[in-house]
Amino acid sequence: MKNYPLLLLLFCCALFFNACSDDDDATPNKEDMLMNKRWQITALDVTLPFVGPQDLYAGFENCEKDSFVEFRGNGVLVVDEGAIKCNSSGPQQVTGSWKLEGDVLTIMGAGASFGLPVNDLEVTITDLSSTRLDGEFSQSIIDGTVTLETM
Confidence at residue 22, expressed as pLDDT on a 0 to 100 scale:
53
Domain that includes residue 49, residue range: 28-150
95 lies in a domain?
yes
139 lies in a domain?
yes
127 lies in a domain?
yes
Q: How far is CA 26 from the centre of its chain?
A: 19
5 lies in a domain?
no
Confidence at residue 56, expressed as pLDDT on a 0 to 100 scale:
84
Confidence at residue 142, expressed as pLDDT on a 0 to 100 scale:
61
pTM comes to 0.73
Confidence at residue 15, expressed as pLDDT on a 0 to 100 scale:
39
145 lies in a domain?
yes
CA-nearest of 134, 126, 147 to 43 is 147
Residues 6 or more apart from 120 whose CB is under 8 A from it? 106, 107, 108, 109, 111
DSSP state of 29: P
135 lies in a domain?
yes
> Does residue 61 contact residue 82 with C-beta atoms inside 8 Å?
no
Residue 109's CATH number: 2.40.128.280
108 lies in a domain?
yes
- The per-residue pLDDT for range 136-146, each reduced to its tens digit, is 988 766 666 66
Number of independent structural domains in the chain: 1
What is the number of other CB atoms lying within 10 angstroms of the CB of residue 149? 17
- The per-residue pLDDT for range 26-68, each reduced to its tens digit, is 778 999 999 989 999 899 888 877 788 888 889 989 998 999 9
